[in-house]
Homo-oligomer: A and B are copies of this chain.
């Protein structure tokens, strides 16, 4: 914020998603009822780059003061409804292999009746992220916004299995699908990721970004394919929210650059990987709340150093 002066002239980035209380156990320890959910992790990352506008719902038991770090980054939480009842709670365990997680319990609470309402002041946001919620609700959000420049969307196996039709309709109305590798395979019913990405591109989105956990991410679109590795962290404390932080870094950087040129898309995917890696360094979104853009830039620089090589195509013999 200091960089921007008194008036925050940064781009508006709208996110709709879950705001939850997570209880997470990893080989490194256990955290009880930390703030989480797709909108929180996305917002924690994207608020480094632009003015986040958050739409979601919590129960009257939610510790809203623990979202103060979002306020401090200029996020507008006026779209976060407080409903009577219990907040959405999730608990899970990551075993030795931190790529695989097991859900212990999901308690939807007030989230079960969530009907996203986009406040009037949010409707002109040009950068929109539809976090992983019912695709029917994701569609209704799109009915409430004006002319966004980019709509990106996440989903999960639950919706692929239960509401495939709404999901396919949604694919026809978004610009970018951000999805993990297992979900891309399930959605396309094809194990091969390159073919799975092509299948998705044929259904509407101009860009598909596939998240591969410790193996990084891949951007597929008509301009080709772009790979970023996972950052080689020696300690992964808690991967919860890394995918949403990834999306926050990706959309945030695009909004900041105000561009969808190939070079900016590629760089934004690297920013996504950087934010995803920071998300793993602590339980909850705390590490993202502490971050500076300078630190993020330095990690993006590390990705550059870890991937660059030289090659000149020789003339044909």
Contacts and interface: CB of A to CB of B under 8 A. Distances in A.
Interface string A85-96: 000000000001
A293 B317 contact: yes
Contact of A232 (B225, B232, B298): B225
B192 A306 contact: no
Contacts of A121: none
A227 B306 contact: yes
B234 A195 contact: yes
A276 to B, nearest CB: 15
Contacts of A317: 2-3, 292-294
Interface string A285-310: 00000001110011011011111111
Given A191-B97, A218-B232, A232-B225, A294 B310 contact: no
A9 interface: no
Nearest to A269: B309
Contacts of A263: 309-310
B306 A191 contact: no
Interface in A218-258: 218, 224-229, 232-236
Nearest to A215: B215
A224 B305 contact: yes
A310 B292 CA distance: 20
Contacts of A225: 232, 306
Contact of A309 (B3, B266, B314): B266
Contact of A311 (B226, B300, B311, B316): B300
Contacts of A218: 229, 232
Given A192-B235, A212-B215, A218-B229, 8 more contacts: A96-B191, A218-B232, A267-B309, A270-B311, A293-B317, A294-B316, A297-B314, A298-B313
Interface of A: 2-3, 96-98, 191-195, 198, 212, 214-216, 218, 224-229, 232-236, 263, 266-267, 269-270, 292-294, 297-298, 300-301, 303-311, 313-314, 316-317
